């Protein structure tokens, strides 16, 4: 008997042909699953559809759409052990990139079919489930400026254009960050608390190695003094993320903890997983292993030999 799976499909996500996308998905998944399909609408979001599917007794939940759809679906399966399959069809596809999931439809479907589930952390932000990150200040303002029309026209570049536009309104704010063992006060233009983040989310990349299953959150503080410093800091974060090397600038700081409370003066807008949720203060707490994600099987290369550098080394090959 085929396992029962529910596909939650956002028909208005991305820039492609949604009908063709759905046919491709069905052609790969239907032979493997007893597949039911639910469509999001302006009145019915992925979270509600996912809860209905779980109540019906499914074995797998599969979500296809942009980051907002994927994150909403994920919230329904937190702490349920139901494996979640991801098929990204959005603008940024940060969800897939952060968790190492292919962002092409065919490869994503094949990942789901192979059925390898991995436990990853999730978090809550002011009680709201959070899979990726919470951005305060500059990042939240940038997300808000990137309109649906711009994303449809320019794709991920819409965020770049919005970020450049936001630089013209560069401002700093006072921030207090409280962890389980310390309180930090400073000035900043952006604060990001990440559970998982793709390298393209540069303002989250202070540690340059955010691990989605370590039971910790990563907080990055970006505190440039002017627009030129903001540009330089962002470029440095992009470089360090690309090379997986932690930042070394004095105007960027980072720390790790299981929970953070962030207060700002004046209050700042907050974006969680791509959606504006309100303003500071926020409290973010990690839920270790709270989500079961279907990911590719990564074959790690195991070194078979390393002898170079040993003192007085002699290697003799034996005859058969």
Which range (3-7, 37-41, 275-279, 313-317) has the least confidence?
A: 313-317
- Residue 80 or 230, more confident: 80
Residue 63 pLDDT > 90, yes or no?
yes
Q: What distances in angstroms separate CA 64 from CA 73, 111, 149, 178, one per listed residue?
A: 9, 13, 21, 36
Please tell me the CATH code under which domain 129-287 is placed. 2.60.200.40
What does the domain layout of the chain look like in residue ranges?
A: 4-115, 129-287
Residue 313 pLDDT > 50, yes or no?
no
Which range (59-63, 84-88, 229-233, 273-277) has the least confidence?
A: 229-233
pLDDT tens digit sequence for 114-173: 989 999 999 999 999 999 999 998 766 555 444 444 444 434 433 343 444 444 555 788
Please tell me the CATH code under which domain 4-115 is placed. 3.40.50.10330
Spatial separation of the C-alpha atoms in residues 223 and 173, rounded to whole Å: 9
Spatial separation of the C-alpha atoms in residues 45 and 123, rounded to whole Å: 20
**Phi and psi for 44 in degrees, rounded to 5?**
-130, 115
pLDDT tens digit sequence for 242-266: 666 666 777 778 888 999 999 999 9
Spatial separation of the C-alpha atoms in residues 56 and 292, rounded to whole Å: 19
* Cβ burial, residue 65 (10 Å; 0-12/13-18/19+): buried
H or E segment and range at residue 282: strand 282-294
The mean pLDDT of the chain is: 81
CATH topology of 4-115 equal to that of 129-287? no
CB–CB of 187/223 below 8 Å? yes
132-160 burial code (b ≥16 CB/10 A, e <16): bbbbbbbbbbbbebbeeebbeebeeebbe
Residue 276 forms beta bridges with which residues? Answer: 271
Residue 265 forms beta bridges with which residues? Answer: 174
H helices of the chain, in order, are: 18-29, 46-55, 67-77, 94-99, 105-114, 138-145, 148-154, 157-167, 227-243
Share of the chain above pLDDT 70, in %: 74
Share of the chain above pLDDT 90, in %: 48
CB–CB of 206/292 below 8 Å? no
pLDDT tens digit sequence for 264-311: 999 999 989 878 899 999 999 999 999 999 999 765 444 444 445 444
Average pLDDT, integer, range 69-78: 92
- Residue 150 or 8, more confident: 8
- Residue 210 or 129, more confident: 129
Written as six digits, the tokens of 82 are: 């139901």
pLDDT tens digit sequence for 32-53: 999 999 999 999 999 999 999 9
CB atoms within 10 A of CB 166: 22
140 CA to centre of own chain = 15
């Amino acid at each position: 008997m085929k396992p029962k799976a529910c596909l939650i499909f956002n028909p208005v996500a991305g820039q492609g042909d949604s009908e063709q996308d759905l046919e491709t998905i069905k052609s790969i998944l239907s032979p493997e699953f007893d597949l039911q399909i639910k469509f999001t609408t302006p009145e019915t979001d992925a979270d509600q559809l996912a809860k209905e599917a779980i109540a019906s007794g499914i074995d797998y939940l599969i979500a296809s759409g942009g980051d907002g759809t994927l994150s909403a679906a994920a919230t329904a399966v937190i702490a349920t052990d139901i494996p979640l399959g991801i098929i990204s069809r959005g603008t940024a596809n940060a969800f897939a990139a952060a968790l190492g999931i292919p962002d092409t439809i065919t490869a994503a479907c094949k990942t789901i079919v192979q059925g390898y589930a991995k436990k990853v952390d999730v978090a809550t932000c002011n009680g709201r489930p959070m899979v990726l990150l919470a951005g305060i200040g500059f990042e939240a303002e940038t997300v808000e400026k990137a309109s649906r029309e711009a994303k449809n026209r320019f794709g991920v570049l819409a965020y770049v254009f919005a970020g450049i536009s936001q630089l013209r309104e560069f401002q700093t704010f006072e921030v207090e960050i409280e962890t389980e063992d310390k309180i930090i006060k400073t000035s900043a233009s952006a604060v990001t608390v990440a559970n998982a983040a793709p390298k393209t989310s540069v303002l989250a990349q202070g540690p340059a190695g955010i691990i989605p299953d370590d039971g910790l959150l990563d907080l990055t503080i970006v505190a440039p003094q002017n627009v030129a410093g903001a540009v330089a800091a962002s470029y440095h974060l992009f470089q360090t993320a690309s090379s997986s090397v932690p930042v070394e600038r004095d105007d960027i700081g980072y720390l790790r903890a299981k929970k953070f409370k962030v207060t700002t003066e004046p209050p700042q807008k907050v974006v969680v997983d791509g959606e504006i949720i309100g303003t500071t203060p926020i409290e973010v707490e990690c839920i270790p292993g709270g989500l079961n994600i279907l990911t590719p099987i990564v074959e790690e290369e195991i070194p078979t030999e390393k002898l170079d550098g040993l003192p007085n080394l002699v290697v003799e090959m034996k005859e058969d």
